[in-house]
Amino acid sequence: MSGAAAKRERAEQILGELSELGLMLARDLATAARAAEQPEEKVALIEAFQKTSRAVRLTLALDFKLQRDAERDARAAAKAAAAEAADAQSRESRIMQAAQAAMVEITQPSPQENQKRRVRAVLNRLIWNEAEGDEEEYDVLLEDLDARLYEAEDAPGFAGLPIEVLARKLAADMRLSGELVVTTAQSLAEETFAPANAPSPPLADTG
């Protein structure tokens, strides 16, 4: 086992322990809050429960991110091994073709990339609100969304799914709260033809 793999495994163990401890603490706080008789004590316990619940949610999201990173690294390693086994004489030609394909993808995003970009724009506000201004938690939740979209894009009909249907399912899977605001048909059409490297919209503005 490599040093990086060992560190990742250790990090997953620690995150697992933290999530279990946080869950136990959240249960204790919930029980204490229900039993509290003084309003001040109940309010303090509820606030502590909410903070602990957020910590548990973030810990689980981090654990999920590590797992997805490991799977993505394994897939990348398998692709690299397959590329190394290819004929050396045609390698330069394949590199040129890959570069041209990458340029086409930048200037002409695929339907799947457009679909993912629109879903990110719709869910961006909910993710920011869920993180309550915490940039670290926002980044973790955004990477969680990207990982889910990465897996979903190969499903048949992904690019043709209604944005609202796909966004609502992902929001439910990620347990995001708040009102889902879907961008207008006109702005979606404009975004479909936007370059892949166009500036992202402001955090609180999805269209």
Q: Picking from 62-71, 89-98, 184-193, which range would have the lowest pLDDT averaged per residue?
A: 184-193
For the segment 133-150, the average pLDDT, to the nearest whole number, is: 89
For the segment 164-175, the average pLDDT, to the nearest whole number, is: 89
- Please check whether residues 8 and 81 belong to one and the same domain: yes
Position with higher pLDDT, 126 vs 74: 126
Contact 66, 8 (CB under 8 A): yes
Evaluate whether residue 201 is within a structural domain.
no
Q: Identity (one letter) of the amino acid at 87?
A: D
Query: How buried is 116 (Cβ within 10 angstroms: 0-12 exposed, 13-18 middle, 19+ buried)?
Result: buried
| Residue 34: CATH number of its domain | 1.20.58
Alpha-carbon distances, residue 154 vs 84, 94, 115, 142, 150 (angstroms): 25, 23, 12, 20, 8
- Please check whether residues 73 and 116 belong to one and the same domain: no
Rg of the chain over Cα atoms, rounded to whole angstroms, equals 22
Predicted pLDDT of residue 101? 64
Residue 1: pLDDT above 70? Answer: no
- In eight-state DSSP terms, residue 5 is H
Q: How far apart, in whole angstroms, are the C-alpha atoms of residue 186 and residue 129?
A: 25
What is the domain extent for residue 121?
111-192
